[in-house]
Homo-oligomer: A and B are copies of this chain.
Amino acid sequence: MKNLSSKSRNGNDTVPPSGVLDRGLHLMNCFSLERPRLQLRDIAAQSGLDKATTLRALKTLVTYGYLEKSEDGYYWPGPATLRLAAIFRSTSNIVTRLERTVENIALETGQAAAFFIRSGDQRVCLIRDRQKRDFRYFVDVGASVPMSAGGAAAHVLAAYSGFDLDSEKAEFVLTNNYYISRGEKNEHLVSAALPIFEADGEFVGAAAITALRSTVTDDDIDRCIEVVRREISLAMLSTQAAAENDNAAF
């Protein structure tokens, strides 16, 4: 397993992982909503793996149903992924509960809406509205980005789950119960995030709306935040920490 060379065999300035399992899972990352169907050539190039290695892994992934392969040599995610997602949902019923809510928020505000949770040092998108928007700006459902990458949702998640990210912003979040980030991750975007709590006060995650800065005023954003608060409470959840001191502990 030589995997020599200073970085990049692909155009991605990333070294492909070593370890067969790592590599196999790494291959699955080549697929996205933007590019759901790929052929060997693309997958090998994008992953940085040798074509022979890639082919072997793909075969295995196909036999286990994680990928499907068509006659014309294209691969795409297979039905096994559905099975696992169904199990994931069953273990975190919050997804099912909030799906409709996120959709409503997007429809009412006309902006992109999403729901995030923290998982270790990652911020994971569990729900995205289904409106079609420019893919470049938004993460896929299930995708993770490091907390350190910031963004409105990250600061809310950090503040309420005790992750040390930016204490100043955390303080703002804890007193105001929302955070607005202007161009923090992307110059042209503004996003507002609110924490979400179970009825019993348990923190579950953050709802966020994202808009193009050039198309919204501060008042628009405030109105969006109100929409979020209303929809969240309709879902029998809260955007306010239950009591001042209970939630500081964990």
Contacts of A5 in B (CB 8 A): none
Contacts of A140 in B (CB 8 A): 83, 86-87
A125 vs B8: C-alpha distance in the bound complex, in angstroms?
A: 40
Digitize A33-54: 1 where CB-to-B-CB distance is under 8 Å, 0 elsewhere.
Answer: 1001100000000000000000
- A20-B20, A66-B25, A141-B82 are contacts. A87–B33 as well, Cβ < 8 Å? yes
In the assembled complex, the CB of A23 is this many whole angstroms from the nearest CB of chain B, namely 8
| Chain B CB within 8 A of A64 CB | yes
| Chain B CB within 8 A of A77 CB | yes
A64 vs B29: C-alpha distance in the bound complex, in angstroms?
A: 9
Contacts of A77 in B (CB 8 A): 84-85, 87-88, 91
Closest Cβ neighbor of A60 among chain B residues: B21
How many residues of chain A get a CB closer than 8 Å to chain B's CBs? 49
- A19-B20, A61-B25 are contacts. A66–B86 as well, Cβ < 8 Å? no
| Chain B CB within 8 A of A79 CB | yes
Closest Cβ neighbor of A81 among chain B residues: B84
Closest Cβ neighbor of A124 among chain B residues: B79
| Chain B CB within 8 A of A142 CB | yes
In the assembled complex, the CB of A149 is this many whole angstroms from the nearest CB of chain B, namely 16
Interchain residue pairs A-B with the least CB separation, the first 4: A83-B142, A85-B85, A82-B142, A81-B84
